[in-house]
Each structure stands twice: as C-alpha cells, then as structure tokens.
Amino acid sequence: MNSRYDILFEKVKIGPVTAPNRFYQVPHCNGMGHRFPQALARMRGIKAEGGWGVVCTEEVEIHPSSDITPYNQGRLWDDSDIANLRLMTDAVHEHGSLAGIELVYQGLAGKNHYSRLPTLAPTHASVLGGYPMQARAMDRADIKNLRQWYKNAAIRSKKAGFDIVYVYAGHGLSVLMHFLSRQHNDRSDEYGGSLENRARLLKEVLIDTKEAVGDTCGIALRIAVDELLGKNGTQADGEGSDIIEMLADIPDLWDVNVSSWENDSQTSRFSQEGFQEQYTKHVKSLTTKPVVGVGRFTSPDAMVSQIKRGVLDLIGAARPSIADPFLPNKIRDNKLDTIRECIGCNICVSSDNYAAPIRCTQNPTMGEEWRRDWHPEIIKPKHQDEAVLIVGAGPAGLECAHALAKRGYEVVIAEKNKVAGGRVLRESQLPGLAQWKRVIDYRLNALKQMPNVEMYFDSEVTPENLTEFGFENIIIATGSYWKNNGQSRETRQHLVHDGSLQILTPDDIMSGVVPQGEVVIYDADHYYMASVLAEKCVELGCNVTYVTNSARVAEWSDNTLEQQRIHNCLHEKGVKIILNQQLHKIVQNNVVSQHIYTRKENYTPCKTLVVVSERSPNDDLYTPLKDKHPFKHFALIGDAYAPGLIAQAVHSGHLEAQFFGSGKDKAIFKRDKGLGFNR
C-alpha cells in the first residue's frame, strides 16, 4: 500500500462499534429491497469483499402506514422480515465489515399504495410527489405510536445483526425531517412553532433508539443540514447549525445530507467531485462525533485531503461504490489505474425510479451479482483456446473485448476510426459530459496492458472482406446513427420538407458541422442529448430555440435527477423553450409544429433544424450475412443490435462475453423469491 493513503485505512470508532477503515458505503437505493433480498445481499456482500468498511442498506420501512410501493426499498414491519435482512448482514460480516440499516417513516413522502392505510404526517397536507391524496395530521397518540414503531424496528435491526442503526431525517423523505421543516410543519403544539419544538420528535426518536440498542449498535443520524431553499428552508449557517448544536452529542455518527435527492446526488454535468465539502466541513466543526460525507469521491488524493483538512472522518460513497465495489482494495493494493471511476450519470438512480434492480454505466455486473453470478473483478475462464474478432471499439465492443480477454481468449479489435470510443468519445466532447469519457479510458487502459489483445485502428471492415480475416468467431459492435427523417416514438411518418432548411442530426454536430443562422433543436428523445446540443449551439454563437413534444424540457432526465437543472441551464443561456409541440413539416425557412392537443400549427423561422429523435442500428455488416455466414459464432451487440443508453451497450458487451462459448440462453437467470417471508 502507498503510505500516502495509510490514513484511509485507519479504524474509526462509531459508538460501541469500530469501522475497520474509513470507506463507508452510505445508504443508497438499489431497486431490489424487500422484493429481491438474495440479490440485494449478494450485491452488498461484494462491496464488503471489495474493502468497504461499512456497508449500509437503502431506506427500510418500519411500519405498513409508511409504505412506498411501487419502489423496492427495504422492509422491517415485523419479525418475519428479519430473516431476509440477515441475509445482508451475514454477507457483509463475512468480510469483516460493519452493516448499517437506515430506518425510515416516510410521512408526506409515503402514499401507502400497498397497505392502503392513511398517510400520517406533521400536518393535514397534500402528500409529496403529485399523487392526489392528503396526509392525516398526527395527534399525540400517533406520535407515541411512531416512537414505539421506531424502537421496535431498532430492536429488530439488532436481531438481524446490524451494527449501525440510522435515524433518518434527510432528502425530504422522512417524517422526522417534515417535523423539522418550517415548510411542512405548521403545528401549534409542543411539536411545532419554534425550532426546539420542531426538533422535539427527532430528539425523542434518537434517544429512544439509543436506549433500545445503543449498548451494542452505533446510532447514526442522517440529516439535511441545508435544503438549498434559502430562508424558506433549513440553512447550514442557520437552523441547520442550531439543530446540530442541539443534538451534537446524542448520535454516534453524523451523516451529512443536502436535501433534496437531486441536490444530494447531483450529476457530473452540474457538479464536481467533493461538491458537498462546505456542508460536511460545517457539521464537522460543530460536533466531536465522527462525520461521514459524500461527494462522488473517486480520487484517493481527494479523499486524503478531505480527512487531513478536517472536512470529514469517513469517506461516504453511494455511486462510486456502485461503479467500483473494489475501490478501497484497489487503493490499498496501489492499483489506482484499475479503478472504474463513477461518471456521475445517475443511471443507477433511474433504476430505482422504475422499481427495477440497479444498473451502472461503468459496472455492468451491478445488480447481476446473484441472478447471473457475476463478479466485478472475477470472471470464469475460457472454455477452450479460441480467437475472437470484434468489429467496433465503442462502449459495447471495448467491454466485450475486455471481458473476453480476462477470460483468456485471444481478441482482435478492428475500428474504422483513428481512435477508440465510438459514441462515448463523441458525446464526452459536449458541454458537461467530459466525465463520461471514463467509460472508454478505463477499458482502453486495461486492454493496452493485456498481451492477448490487438487493436487495429483506421481499419474499416466490409461484408465483402469480413470473411477474409480467417476468424471463426466474430462479434459486431458498430453502434448506431441518429435519424434525420423526423421519425420518433410519436410518429412513423417521415418529415415533410421543402429543402429550405439545413437539417442536422446530433452526429453532424458532434462531427464538427457548424449550424447556420437561427437554430431550432427538436427534442423527441427527452433525455440529455437535445439540451447539451442546445448548449453547444449557444457556444457556437447561435440563437437557439428548443422545441419538444413533451410538457417539460428533457423530461426523461427527471429519472436521473437533472430535469430542473437542465431547464434552468437552458433558460440562463437564453434558449427559447417551446413545449407540447410535435414536429410537422418544413415550409419556406420555417419549422412548422403542431400543438399535441389542439393540433394548432406554430411557425418558427430558422436556418437550421437539429432533429433529436431516434437512432438506427448500424448493422450493415451483420444483416447480409446473419442467415448464411460461415462462422462458428457470429453476433451483434450494443447499439448495433438495439440503440439505447450507454449503460445498455456496456451491459450488452459484457453479456456477450460472459456467455461466449457456453451455448446457454442469455435470457435465463435466477429468479429471486427470497426466503418466503418477503411481501
């Protein structure tokens, strides 16, 4: 181990327990929760194997009246849930790490779709998240019950083997935070009004939890020290400080949160590594207890700096631990160039919003540890000596090559361009997406060090010469290209135009084509591409109008917690925004759109239209030969098979490599049915 990083491997005392090092996987959602407990336990256990000294759960519901269906979070309603949770603690303890559990009662953020019980909250108010129902204001009997539910859950947590028990008042997702918040608490009794009154329930639950299990379990408080709402919410240098000083010595650990979730888990497009430092350092200055903070840390030097400068005591991570579960061990073993650095894209977050098992752009094994028996660092060896030609060095091709080479196969990569990277390389040149290049850098660095890999650039392969290379095994990973014909999920009709405008695609802009005059960007993709192209065109000096058939800018990016920031960014850059308009035709230097409800036509004068709608798979190498090829193995992967997210392309490449030579059906995997206790 490099001595400069010794400080990262010091033990840290957390109340009655001791963390074996400073690497702390903070609670994070995963889309598995109580529905897929075996998969969840395996995922958490691998993180402990990878060196994370503390590994925590996601939110864990403590009572049926705080049911957050359809989301797959943890569940500890009664004793029957203990066995499923013990799967995780056993997996974590196997590697000498501590297991933490984040107990939650959601309050205004819970809708109880499954239990159908009334939602309880500080006041009579609409629930959060847009669902048309209201919460019931808790009376003193309800508050007494709530305290008992927390106490019962803490005792069950101890029985399940947890070493650290959380009291959760962060992210805007906890009734304890709702009581603290002036925004949500308008009570006039001893639990409302002054800060001391609003903090009363949190203090009571903390003390109850400590009295119940604090003899053997560390008690952690995760709290929003700033809601980034100015005077309308908690501020770090205002009530946030007062709360910490009021409770400073009660918890054994402070877990710093900036509320809400989109603030706490900002993407790399809008924040840099360590972006929460000012808040974490502020908490550290107000308590003698250890402090854990996050900041999408991937650099060990940044981690050491945070500790030495007194910013925090434990390196908190959710997303970096997802991208590389073995990050701590790689630092310990001085293998820094093998770290899969988080790119901050929040695809992991999007999985939770779909109540689906977690996935990661950088780490294709995430969420597949149990059901496919995949490991982030270990892969089954080759079944026999064979060579494989991979055509295309984009995200799918490079991942497939890396995994096959690790298995021991001879791998040759042919890439028509002068450099590797495909779409990731091109997209990483766009505003805010530079960190995404890590997807390519990690794989290229690994491949260059592998003696069984050869890479040939500036080497275009055609259907005619594909059979001349002498390979029996060929995998096509040639990506996709953006359409310019106006087809989208809303219409299969081609765009009618009179040729009066320059029509470009994202590929054109990324290839260096300069748009002319006034620019209209039409977004039927609804993710990041149209908005970053709008920024790019502004940088090029264009006046830009953004048109979409959605009711919001970059609507799907709500799943990656970016939508509001993207809209605000375009507004600040002077981009005109037109919503609810379907691209219709081009007539005499005008983009004609139709309102999606009224069908009324809208004319927008411009010189250049950039269409961001759909992509076509670049499968010309595969399709002519798929039914009559002479090869032993001939496959199509990534965007060349089905265009999608970069994460899907990487997963496709890894899936192909894992199954190569097995003869097995890729669609078959283990189905997690738990232990019979999960609901």
Which of the four pLDDT bands, split at 50, 70 and 90, describes residue 677? very low
The pTM of the full predicted model, rounded to 2 decimals, is 0.96
Q: Give me the pLDDT at residue 2, please.
A: 77
DSSP string, 500-530: -SEEE-HHHHHTTPPPPSSEEEEESS-SSHH
Q: Which amino acid, residue 583?
A: L
The arithmetic mean of pLDDT across residues 11-40, rounded, is 97
- Cα separation of 111 and 576, whole Å? 37
Position 186 scores a pLDDT of 94
| Residue 237: predicted pLDDT | 81
Residue 463 — very low, low, confident or very high, per pLDDT cuts 50/70/90? confident
Nearest to 166 by CA among 233, 120, 213: 213
pLDDT digits (tens, 9 = 90+) for 560-573: 999 999 999 999 99
Q: Give CA torsion, residues 562, 568, 574, 576, to 10 deg.
A: 80
Enumerate helices (H) and strands (E) in the chain, giving the number of each. 20, 30
**For the segment 248-260, what is each residue's pLDDT rounded down to a tens digit?**
889 999 999 988 8
Distance CA 361, CA 398 (A): 13
257-274 burial, b at 16+ Cβ within 10 Å, e below that, comes to bbbbbbbbbbbbbbbebb
Max CA distance (Å), the chain: 83
Distance (Å, whole) CA 348 – CA 51: 21
Place of tokens 């203090």: 203
DSSP 488: B
CA dist 472 and 468 (Å) reads 11
d(CA 170, CA 56): 15
pLDDT of residue 93: 98
Q: Give the domains, in start order, of the chain with CATH numbers.
A: 3-339 (3.20.20.70), 482-616 (3.50.50.60)
Q: Which pLDDT value is given to residue 226? A: 82
Going by their DSSP bridges, the two strands 253-258 and 164-169 should be labelled as unpaired
Percent of the chain with pLDDT over 90: 89
Query: Mean per-residue pLDDT for 492-503?
Result: 93
* CA 156 and chain centroid, separation: 30
Q: Would you call 221 helix, strand, or coil by DSSP?
A: strand
Residue 675 pLDDT class (50, 70, 90 cuts): low
- HEC string for 405-442: HHHCCEEEEECCCCCCCHHHHHHCCCCCCHHHHHHHHH
Angle at 70 between CA 67 and CA 76, to 5 degrees: 40
Alpha-carbon radius of gyration of the chain: 26
Amino acid at 256: V
Q: Which residues are part of the catalytic machinery? A: 29, 168, 171, 264
Write the CB contacts of 12 (distance below 8 Å, at least 6 apart in sequence): 18, 19, 21, 22, 53, 290, 313, 314
Beta-bridge mates of residue 219: 165
The rounded distance, in Å, linking the Cα atoms of 360 and 350 is 10
